[in-house]
Structure 1
Amino acid sequence: MPNSRQLTLQNSIRYFFAAIFWIPVVFFSLLLVRNTLPYFSFNQQFSFIEERAVLFLKPAYKASFYIHIFAGMFCIIAALTQFSSYILKKRKAIHIWMGKIYVVVVIVLGAPTGLYMSFFAKGSFWERALFMFMALYWLYTTIKGLQSIKQKNILAHKNWMIRSYSMAMTAVTFRVYHIIFYYYGADHLFNYEISLWISVLGNMLIAEYFIFRKSKKYLNTFNHLKIIRS
């Protein structure tokens, strides 16, 4: 059995690696929100809007765009509260209510508008198909997360919401990869496509890694308790 010094060292290492992961996540999430807010001035002189000027003549597309970026911005901030152990332990009401709002925003606003906009996405058929997959996967994982907590299956709830959050975070990771490839001199269209694919597939793999780690830890704890009680 590990002594107190070993446990302290293990905890310190765990907190260190958690900080390495979460500090950039929080920073780039807040940066995305900051960069999204100017769009709500409804000024048309943004490169994204100028590239899609014809689409923005369609009221449905224009409304979907503003609803989608609002939903994405909110979900990224709301999700940060869902993975805080302090909030979960000390301010559980915040976790519950922000979680409920997150689910509603994804199901009613974020995923449907994302699915609609995917039909007009830049790139080839495969990029549009990927955007469709993202919207449907985001919707599906969020619904499964809601169903599992209603069934009081906390482990399944955590796992499905990690997957849901991984899709919300593609808005952040895509921009990070895009900047990296831009500085390496990648062609604009290639940069867009490769950043998109790495962001989606990378986020899914990272989510599954976290789920594997959490599930393994849960099973080890469960087996340890069985041994003690037997």
Structure 2
Amino acid sequence: MPNSRQLTLQSSVRYFFTALFWIPVVFFSLLLVKNTIPYFSFSQHFSFIEERAILFLKPIYKYSFYTHIFAGMFCIIAALTQFSSYILKKRKSIHIWMGKIYVFVVIVLGAPTGLYMSFFAKGSFWERTLFMFMAMYWMYSTVKGLQLIKQKNVLAHKNWMIRSYSMAMTAVTFRIYHILFYYYGVDHLHNYEISLWISVLGNMLVAEYFIFRKSKNYLNTFKINYTN
């Protein structure tokens, strides 16, 4: 059996890598929120809006855009509270209510507007299809997470909410990849397409890795408790 010193070292290493993951996640999430807020001045002088000036003449597209960026901004911040062990243990009511609001915002606002806007997304047929998939998978994983917590299946609920969060976070990871490829001199259109695919597929893989690790740790804990 490992001694207390080894356990302390293992715990310190685990906390270090946890911090190494979450610090940039929180930083870039807050940066995205900061960069999104100016859109609510409703100025037309943003490159995204200028590129789609004709689409923004349609009220349904315009309202969908502002609804979608509000939903995405809120979901990214709300989701950060959902993965806090302190809030879950000490302030469970915050976890529950923020979770309910997150689910509502995804199902009613974020995913439907994202699906609508996907039909007009920049890029080829495959990029538009990917946006459609993102919206539907975000909706499905969120609904699945809600159903499972109602059935008191906490572990499966966490797994599906990790998948839901991975879709919300594509807004953050896409921008990180886009900046990196820009500095490597990749032209705008290819940068856009590559960053989008890496962001979506990468986030899904990272989510599945975390789910695998959490499930493995849960099984190991169960075995230890059962054998003891």
Q: TM-score, normalised by structure 2?
A: 0.99
Q: C-alpha distance in 2, partners of 1:2/1:137? A: 42
Percentage identity across paired residues of the two chains? 86
CA distance in 1, matches of 2:125, 2:203: 21
- The residue that corresponds to 2:116 in the other structure is 116
The unaligned stretches of length 5 or more in structure 2 are: none
Residue correspondence of structure 1 range 1-12 to structure 2 within 5 A:
1-12=1-12
How far apart, in 2, do the equivalents of 1:217 and 1:210 lie?
Answer: 10
Residue of structure 1 in register with 2:170 after alignment: 170
Deviation at 1:47, TM superposition (A): 0.1
Q: Which amino acid aligns with 1:140?
A: Y
Deviation readout 1:104-155 (Å, 9 max, x if unpaired): 0000000000000000000000000000000000000000000000000000
Cα separation, 2, equivalents of 1:136 and 1:218: 29
1:187 matched to which residue of 2? Answer: 187
Q: 2 CA distance for matches of 1:10 and 1:92?
A: 28
Q: Does 1:89 align with 2:70?
A: no
1:76-121 CA deviation, whole Å, 9 max, x = no partner?
A: 0000000000111111111000000000000000000000000000
- Alignment-mate amino acid for residue 167 of structure 2: M
- Give the AA of the match of 2:199: S
For 2:28, the equivalent position in structure 1 comes to 28
Distance across 2 between alignment mates of 1:161 and 1:128: 24
Structure 1 gap ranges (5+) = none
The alignment of Structure 1 onto Structure 2 pairs a total of residues equal to 228
TM-score, scaled relative to structure 1: 0.99
Detail structure 1 runs of 4+ shifted over 3 Å in the superposition.
Answer: none
The residue type equivalent to 2:16 in the other structure is: F
Q: AA paired with 1:202?
A: G
The answer for the alignment partner of 1:205 in structure 2 is 205
CA distance, structure 2, for counterparts of residue 91 and residue 3 of structure 1: 33
Alignment of 1:86-165 (within 5 A): 86-165=86-165
* Residue of structure 1 in register with 2:51 after alignment: 51
- Name the SS for the 1:200 alignment partner: helix
Q: Which amino acid aligns with 2:212?
A: F
> Aligned partners of 1:223 and 1:151: how far apart in 2?
24
After TM superposition, give the deviation of residue 73 of structure 1 in Å: 0.1
SS at match of 1:87: helix
